[in-house]
Amino acid sequence: MISVARRAIASLSDSEPAPQPRIDLKNIYTSAFAATIAIYFGAYASLRVWRALQAYDNAVEAKDQGSRCSSKCARVAFGFVAATFFALEVAFAYAVVTGSVKGTRWGIVTIATLMLWAGFSAPVISVFCDKTVSRILGRRVAFPSIRTIKAHRKRALLIQIPALVLAVCTALRKLNDGVFAVAVAGLIYRLTSKPAIHSRKGWMSVRGAILTVASFAMLWISLTAVLVFLLVRYSRDTAPDNTSSNYLGDVADDFDQLSLITIHFVNVVVGAVIGIVLRYEYSRTSEYLGLPQDESKAVPVVDAELRTVTIPRTNPSFSAPLFHLSLATFFLVHVPSLLLTLPQFQYLYTSTDIPSSTRLVFSIFAEVPPQLWALVAVPSVVAIASKVRGDGHELWTYSEHWIVFSEREALKSIDGAAQPSETDSLLDVKA
């Protein structure tokens, strides 16, 4: 994004040449390899969490799920965290608008540190610490809560400390690109494996996921266009001495560091689509109704006294061709960019002997992040493959959501049942 802005400003002046098209090697390699692995493990982790929530809803009655006191504390904590992030974003936006190089750099380092901290710690904690699921009562919805078991909380704290040190060093660009790729992969894993707590219906439906992908693509394009427009207008009206261009040059490396992290949020959205495809495939198997005895290690363990369910560490065995196809598609969209990194193909967008229209096409492939191609390719391949297989309508209408309390009361009044029935489950899976 910052390179596009610099190119737009450079086009206003003949004295400053526009930067040549270049391929972001760090982004391509991180997205093609680290993100693919993170989405794979994150999708299976989301399946384990989803199965644990199912076991919890089937074992614990709604009136026993959490407490009003804990829900108020959770809302206060969530509001405090949200307010802190909002204040940080406002301060960062103010620094950018006023052209403060120091303020912009510190804002970028702070935001990058928080995200990379989560990326370093999440995979390690998931390996060495067991977690349980429960629910926190809201006004109309019981939200999922994932917590580390009490015996492993000290271990999780010890993991967070070196993860924070690594995050600070990485945000300050003191470590190499390999460490950065590990942190980004961990962040993708963390966000892909968790349910959408902010959503009233929890994990989105397949059509909801595809619509989210489309809206995310439009939002990305709109924000890029607005940023370029504002920077160009600022350079024309208030910076005749080219100070805005100098400002962009001073903070370009910092913006590149932050943009490399934020662009991978596109992978999180694509990973959510791939994860829900995996859970859809699991809902069509025999294990969905009852696991055989030799799969007992993959069954969530219910603690009736603490009203929690331990997330299983192993995955059920089942065939998921559509999931593997979508994951392969995500990797294959990176192949053109990977080929253009080779010296044998770089002449396609650098040589003057190539027609300008051809150079333009390959320049687009060189500069546009492959994550944006994945936004289009993965849902399209999933839709076509499911249509060919004959379950396109089932996949499109598949959804996972929670029955809110008002709907529960309506069901009870219609059925006239005093005891909870199977339809009273807070987690209603429609396949």
| pLDDT tens string 93-148 | 777 777 777 888 888 889 889 989 999 999 999 999 999 988 776 666 667 788 89
Q: Rounded to 5 degrees, what angle do the CA atoms 261, 262, 264 make?
A: 75
Q: What is the pLDDT along the chain (431 residues), one digit of tens a residue?
A: 555 545 444 444 444 444 555 667 888 889 999 999 999 999 999 999 888 888 887 777 655 555 555 556 766 777 787 788 778 778 877 777 777 778 888 888 898 899 899 999 999 999 999 999 887 766 666 677 888 999 999 999 999 999 999 999 998 887 777 898 999 999 999 988 987 654 544 556 777 777 776 776 676 666 666 666 655 555 555 444 444 445 555 666 676 777 778 788 889 888 988 998 999 999 888 666 554 444 444 567 666 666 788 999 989 888 999 999 999 999 999 998 888 888 888 778 777 777 877 777 777 777 778 888 898 899 899 989 999 999 888 888 887 765 444 444 444 544 454 444 433 333 343 33
Tell me what pLDDT residue 369 has: 84
SS (H, E, C) the chain: CHHHHHHHHHCCCCCCCCCCCCCCHHHHHHHHHHHHHHHHHHHHHHHHHHHHHHHHHHHCCHHHCCCHHHHHHHHHHHHHHHHHHHHHHHHHHHHHHHCCHHHHHHHHHHHHHHHHHHHHHHHHHHHHCCEEEEEEECCCCEEEEEEECHHHHHHHHHHHHHHHHHHHHHHCCCCCHHHHHHHHHHHHHHHHHCCCCCCCCCCCCHHHHHHHHHHHHHHHHHHHHHHHHHHHHHHHHCCCCCHHHHHHHHHHHHHHHHHHHHCCHHHHHHHHHHHHHHHHHHHCCHHHCCCCHHHHHHCCEEECCCCEEECCCCCCCCCCHHHHHHHHHHHHCCHHHHHHCCCCCCHHHHCCCCCHHHHHHHHHHHHCCHHHHHHHHHHHHHHHHHHHHCCHHHHHHCEEEECCHHHHHHHHHHHCCCCCCHHHCCEEEEC
Distance, in Å, from the CA atom of 263 to the CA atom of 187, rounded to the nearest integer, reads: 12
Instruction: Return the structure tokens found at 35.
Output: 């993100």
Tell me what pLDDT residue 13 has: 46
Treating both helix axes as pointing N-terminal to C-terminal, what angle do 101-128 and 68-98 enclose, rounded to 10 degrees? 150
Closest CA to 38 of 175, 149, 152, 189: 189
Give how far the C-alpha of residue 320 lies from the chain's centroid of Cα atoms, to the nearest Å: 22
Tell me what pLDDT residue 418 has: 43
User: Which residue reads 């619509």 in tokens?
Assistant: 211
The reported pTM is: 0.80
Sequence-distant (6+) residues with CB within 8 A of 236 are 12
Distance, in Å, from the CA atom of 136 to the CA atom of 342, rounded to the nearest integer, reads: 52
Tell me what pLDDT residue 298 has: 58
Tally of CA atoms within 13 A in the half-sphere of 138 that contains its CB: 20
Distance, in Å, from the CA atom of 332 to the CA atom of 381, rounded to the nearest integer, reads: 12
